[in-house]
Structure 1
Amino acid sequence: MEDNNELVPLLLVEARSFIAGEDDILPINDFKDFTKQFYVESVKLWYLAAPAIFTSVCQYSLGATTQLLAGHVGTIQLAAVSVENSVIAGFSFGILMGMGSALETLCGQAYGAGQLEMLGIYMQRSWVILLTTAMIMMLVYIFAAPILLLIGQTPAISTAAGSFSIWMIPQLFAYAMVFPLAKFLQAQSKMIAMAVIAAAALILHIIFSWLLMLKLDMGLPGAAVVLNGSWWFIVAAQIVYILSGTCGDAWSGFSWKAFQNLWGFLKLSLASAVMLCLEFWYFNVLILFAGYLKNAEIAVDSISVCMNILGWTVMVAFGFNAAISVRVSNELGAAHPRTAKFSVIVATITSLVFGLLMALVLMVFRRQYPALFANSIQVQQLVYEITPLLALSIVISNVQPTLSGVAIGAGWQAYVAYVNLVSYYVFGIPLGLLLAYIMDMGVKGIWYGMIGGTGVQTCFLFWMIYRTNWNKEASMAEGRIKEWGTDQKINKDKVQVVA
C-alpha cells in the first residue's frame, strides 16, 4: 500500500500533463533557440507583469504621495507620517500581506490544476483569518505613541505619529480585505481590472490629498481621511468587480466552507507571514534606528526620502514578483516544470535589466530629485550623498523580490523564512549598527547594512533556485492541491495552462 500511495501523486501529475499538453518550452540547443523561447516567455510574463507593476506603483504611491505632501506641511509632519507609515503601518502591512501571500501558492496552483471552485473558498478563509488578526493588531495603533517612546523615538515624533496612527485604524482593516482580494484576482490573471481600479484610486487620492492637506490646511487629519478612503475605495471596487460575475467558477458565492480547516490554513498563512515580515520589517527597522542618530529629524527625513524612492522603484520588481509567482504556481499546478524553470530565468534577467536602468536614471538626476521630497536644504544634501548607495540598492532589490516570487509560487515560504532571519537579522542589522554607531558612519552605515543583508539573502535565493528539482516541485504541487482542495477528482474540462 505504501508504494501505491507514493505513486498516486506522480501518476496524477503524468495524467494532467497528458490532459493539458506537455511543456510548451522546446529544446534549447543554441543561442537562437534561447532567444526565441525568451521572447515567447517574455510576452507571457509582461502580460502579467505590466499591469501588476502599474497596480503596485499606484498603490504604493498612495502612502508615498501623502508622505511627499507632508514634507511640504512641515518637518515634524513628515517625520510623523514616515514613522507611522514605516513602523506602525509597516508592521501591520508586513504581517497581513505575508499571511495573504499564502493564497499566491494555493490559488495559483489550484487554478493551474483546474480546481477553480476552490479559489473563492481560499479567499474567504483568508478574510476570516486576516480580519481576526487585524482586530488584535489594532492595539498597536491605539498605543502607538507610548510604543514609539519606549523604543527611543523623540517625544515630538512619538506624539505626532501616535495621533496619526489612531486616525489610520480603518486602513488596517482595508489591508486585511485587499490582500486576499488581490491574490484571488492575481491567480486568474485579472491584472487589468486591478490596474484600472488602482489608477482611479490614485487619481482621486492625489486630488483630495492636495485639497485637504494643503489647500484647506487640514494637515495630518486630512491626510488620514484621504488615505483611509483611498484604500477602502480599492476594496469596494474589487469586490464589486468579483460580484459582477467576471470570475466565472472561481467565485460561486459565500460559503460555510470558509470556516473549515482554519487551523491548517492559519499555519500556512503564518509561514508566509514570517517569510515576508522578516524581510519587510528589516527595511522599517532602518528608519527606526535613524531616529537614534544625531539630528534625528534630519536623519529620519533623509532616509525616509531614500526609502520612498527605493519603494517606488522596487514596485517594478513587485510586479515581476506577482507575475512570476502566478507563472510558477500555474505551471507547477498544470505539471509543466520545464516551463516554470524557464519563466524564472526570464523574470530574473528582465528585473535585473530594469534595476540597472532605474539606477542609472537616479544617478543622472541625483541633484534635482531631493527637492521634490523635502524643503530642508540639510535633508536634500544628505539624500544627495546617499544616492550612490541608493542606486546600488535599487539594482539588488529589483532582483530579490522576483526570486521571492519564485519561492511563493513554489510554496517554499518556511525555508525562505530561515534565510531571511539569517541574512537580515544575524548579518544585515548588526552590520548596519556597527557601521552607523561604532564606526560613526551615520545614515550611510545603516544603508551599508541594508545592502549587505539584502545581498546575502539574494545569494541564498539564487542558490536555492539553482538546486531546485522542478519535476519534484510539480509532484509536490499536486499533493498540496489535494491537501487544501476538495475530494473531487481533477476536472479535465477545467485544466488550464497560462497561454
Structure 2
Amino acid sequence: MPNQFLHTDQEQRSSVIYSTSMGKAGLFIPADYIGSNNNDAIIDETEDDEGTSSSGDNLHSNNNINDQTATEPVRLTKNSDELEFLLGDEDDDNNNNNNRFMHYQSINEAQENHNRNSITEQPIQHSRATSMCKSLIDEERDLLIDNKLLNNTVGQRSRGNSIVESMYGNIEPVDAEVAGEVINTWNDAIDSGKPIQSSFKRETQVIAFNALPLIFTFILQNSLSLASIFSVSHLGTKELGGVTLGSMTANITGLAAIQGLCTCLDTLCAQAYGAKNYHLVGVLIQRCATITILAFLPIMYIWWSWSETILSWMIPERELCVLAAKYLRITALGVPGFVLFECGKRFLQCQGIFHASTIILFVCAPLNALMNYIFVWNKTIGIGYLGAPLSVAINYWLMAIGLMLYTLFTKHDSNPMKCWNGIIKKRQIFKNWRKMFGLALPGIIMVEAEFLGFEILTIFASHISTNALAAQSIVSTVASLAYQVPFSISVSTSTRVANLIGASLYKSCIITCKVSLLLSFVCSSFNMMIIVTFRDQIAKLFSTEKAVVNLVISALPILAFMQLFDAFNASTAGCLRGQGRQKIGGYINLFAFYCIGIPMSYMLTFTFNMGIGGLWFGITCALIMMSICQGYAVFHGDWNQILQAAKLRNAEGARVN
C-alpha cells in the first residue's frame, strides 16, 4: 500500500514552541531531540477510575494491532491537524483497499443515521475521519491529474460532492467511487514505476495556502510582547530599557524553562492518547502543571527578593535594575496562568485540536493591547510603567481560562473531556516524575539556548549605554515581527516535505524545497524593502528620544540585510525538519550562534566600536553560516536513507498507536 502522505509520528511533528521573547521563536523544536524509538518514553502506567495504577495494561502491543477492526483510526499528523484514516494489514494491499472501502461504506451509513437523528459516538468519529481522508484523497487526485495519470472528470466529480450538515459543523463526505479510482490509479502508478511528480505551481499554492493562517497566529503571539514594548517606549528611555531587561530576564529564568519542561507532554500525552489511555492524559497534564508550578516557586521568590541585586552584578545602570525587578515581581503573579496555558494547549493538541490556542489569541491579543493602553496611559486608572507587566500577568490568566472554557464547552467531535477523570490524588503527583524530567531536559536545554543567546545580546547592549539598550529592544522587536512570515513558510514547508517523503516522492520534495527558498526570498526582499524605506517612521513609532531614534535608524539597514539570510535559514530549517534531520540543523544552529555570532557581535561592538550595529552584524554572519550549511545539508542528503528512515518511523508509529 502506498503511504498516502503518511509521514511520521512524534519525531517529525510540525509543532511549534511559541516564543514570548523579543527574539525569534522555535528554529528547532525541543521535541526534535527526543527520539521516537524510546521505549522508556512509552507510557507505562494507567489510571483507573479509582486512581490505582498499573504498568501499561492498556497499551497496544504488536498483536493488538492485528486484532483491530478495519475501522480503527490511527493517529497521524498533517498541517498541524490530526489525520485519521484506516490502516488494515499492511502486508496485503488488496486487504487495505477493501478495508478502506468498508470504512467509506460505514461512513455513508453513519451519515444516513445522522439524517435519521440517531447519531452515536461511532458515526461521529467516522464523520471526522471522512473529512480528514478526503483531504488526502484530494491531494493524491490533484497530483495524479497533474501527471496525466487520472482523468480530470474524476476531480470534477469529487469537487461536486454535496455538503452534509453534521451536528458538529459542515463535513464534506468522501465519495467511495472517486476515492477508489484515485487509490487504484495511485497503486497502479507505484507498481508500474510511473513517475508521480509535483510542479512548482502546485507546491507554491500548497505552501502559501498553509502558511497564510500561521502568519496571523504567530503575529498575534508576538503582539503580546510587542504591546508592552510599544506602550512603555513612549514613557522614556529608562522605562524602555527596564521593560526590555525585565522581559528578557523573565524569559530566560522562567518562561523558557516552563516551555521546555512542558515539551515532555508532546511525547507522553500523545502516546497515552494513541494507546486510548484517555484518563492518563488528564493525569499527566495535572502532574506536569503541578510539578512545574512547584519548581517555579523558588524562581518566584528570587524574582521578588533578589532580582535587583542579581541584575546589578551584570548591568551597570542601577535604575534599569530597579525597573526590571519591578517588572519581574508583577509578571510573577501571572506565571501560574502561563503554566496552565502551556499544559492546556498540549492537552488539546494531543487530541488533534490545534486551533484552540489560536482562537484564544484572537481574543487575548487585542485585550492585551487595550489593557496596556489603559493601565499605562489612562489618566484615571493608569499606573504608568507597572501597567505593562500587569497586562501581561492578567493575559496569562485569561489565556489559561480561555482554554479551560473552550475545553468545557467545545462541540469538537474529539470530545476533549473524555481525557479528564477529575483532580488527581496527592500520591499521583510525583509518580514517575523522573521519566517526565528525563523527556523534558532536552527541551529545556534547547529552548534555554535560544533565549540565552538574545539575553546575552541584551546584556551587551546594556554595557554600551541606556540609549543603546532601548534601541536594541526596538530593533529586536522589529526583527521578531519580520521573522513571522518566513517562519510560517518554514512550518508549512516542513509539513509538506514530510508528507512527500512519506509518499516516497523525493523528486517532488526537492521541488518543494526550492519553492520554499524562492518564497522566502520574495518575503525577505519585501521585509528588507519595508525596513529600509520606512526606517525613520519605524524608529519614531517606538520612541520620541532623538538619541534612541538615531541609533535605531543606524541599525535597521543591517537588520534589513539580515532578512535575506534569516529567511533562508528558516526555510532550510523547515526542509530539514520535514526530512527528519532536525539534529543536523540543531547542531548547525548552536555552532553558528555561539561559536560565530555571539563572539563576533562582542568583538565588533566593543573592539571595533560599532555599537548595536555590531551586535546585529555578528548575528547576520551566524545566519549566513547557518543558511549555507543547512542548504547544503538539504540538497545533498542521502535520499534513500531519508526515505528508509521515514518508513521505519511510520511503521513504529503504527505499532505504538
- TM-score, normalised with respect to structure 1: 0.79
Contact 1:17–1:336 under 8 Å retained in 2: no
Q: Distance in 1 between matches of 2:454 and 2:343?
A: 24
The 5 A counterparts of 1:289-368 are: 289-293=460-464, 296-324=465-493, 335-336=502-503, 338=505, 341=509, 346-368=515-537
Structure 2 gaps, min length 5: 1-61, 67-86, 97-132, 148-193
List per-residue Cα deviations over 1:36-81 (Å, max 9, x = no partner): 43146326xx34x333321221122122111111111222111110
Contact 2:246–2:323 under 8 Å retained in 1: no
Q: Distance in 1 between matches of 2:91 and 2:524?
A: 37
Quickly say closer, same or farther: Cα 1:287–1:470, change in 2 above 3 A.
Answer: same
List per-residue Cα deviations over 1:76-108 (Å, max 9, x = no partner): 111110111123334433333344455567778
Quickly say closer, same or farther: Cα 1:132–1:414, change in 2 above 3 A.
Answer: farther
Q: Does 2:246 correspond to 1:84?
A: yes
Structure having the higher Rg: 2
List per-residue Cα deviations over 1:337-373 (Å, max 9, x = no partner): 6489466555454344322212211111112111110
Q: Does 2:222 correspond to 1:60?
A: yes
**Aligned partner (choices 451, 457, 461) of residue 286 of structure 1:** 457
**Aligned partner (choices 286, 302, 312) of residue 149 of structure 1:** 312
252-261 or 425-434, which moves further after superposition? 252-261
Cross-structure match for 1:218: 383
Question: Comparing both structures, which one devotes a greater share of its residues to helix?
Answer: 1
Q: Distance in 1 between matches of 2:375 and 2:91?
A: 56
28-37 or 412-421, which moves further after superposition? 28-37
Q: Distance in 1 between matches of 2:497 and 2:289?
A: 24
**Aligned partner (choices 87, 90, 94) of residue 15 of structure 1:** 90
Contact 1:336–1:474 under 8 Å retained in 2: no
Quickly say closer, same or farther: Cα 1:88–1:39, change in 2 above 3 A.
Answer: closer
Contact 2:576–2:585 under 8 Å retained in 1: yes
Q: Does 2:464 correspond to 1:266?
A: no
List per-residue Cα deviations over 1:182-201 (Å, max 9, x = no partner): 45555777555433321211
The 5 A counterparts of 1:70-149 are: 70-101=232-263, 126-127=288-289, 130-142=292-304, 143-149=306-312
Cross-structure match for 2:564: 395
List per-residue Cα deviations over 1:127-152 (Å, max 9, x = no partner): 45544443354355233212211113
Three-state SS of the structure 2 residue aligned to 1:168 is helix
Quickly say closer, same or farther: Cα 1:276–1:155, change in 2 above 3 A.
Answer: same
Q: Distance in 2 between matches of 1:284 and 1:17?
A: 55
Q: Give percent identity, aligned residues only.
A: 21
Specify which structure has the bigger relative contact order, considering alpha-carbon pairs within 8 angstroms and separated by 6 or more residues: 1
Q: Counterpart amino acid of 1:458?
A: S
CA deviation after TM superposition for structure 1 residue 386, in Å = 0.9
Cross-structure match for 1:477: 649
**Aligned partner (choices 360, 365, 381) of residue 202 of structure 1:** 365
Quickly say closer, same or farther: Cα 1:183–1:346, change in 2 above 3 A.
Answer: farther
213-222 or 61-70, which moves further after superposition? 213-222
Q: Distance in 1 between matches of 2:218 and 2:624?
A: 23
Quickly say closer, same or farther: Cα 1:388–1:69, change in 2 above 3 A.
Answer: same
Q: Distance in 1 between matches of 2:271 and 2:520?
A: 23
Q: Counterpart amino acid of 1:368?
A: Q
CA deviation after TM superposition for structure 1 residue 306, in Å = 0.5
- TM-score, normalised with respect to structure 2: 0.62
Cross-structure match for 1:51: 213
Q: Counterpart amino acid of 1:236?
A: I
Contact 1:109–1:329 under 8 Å retained in 2: no
Q: Distance in 1 between matches of 2:226 and 2:201?
A: 39
List per-residue Cα deviations over 1:11-51 (Å, max 9, x = no partner): 999939965889946698999941243146326xx34x333
416-425 or 440-449, which moves further after superposition? 416-425
Contact 1:279–1:420 under 8 Å retained in 2: no
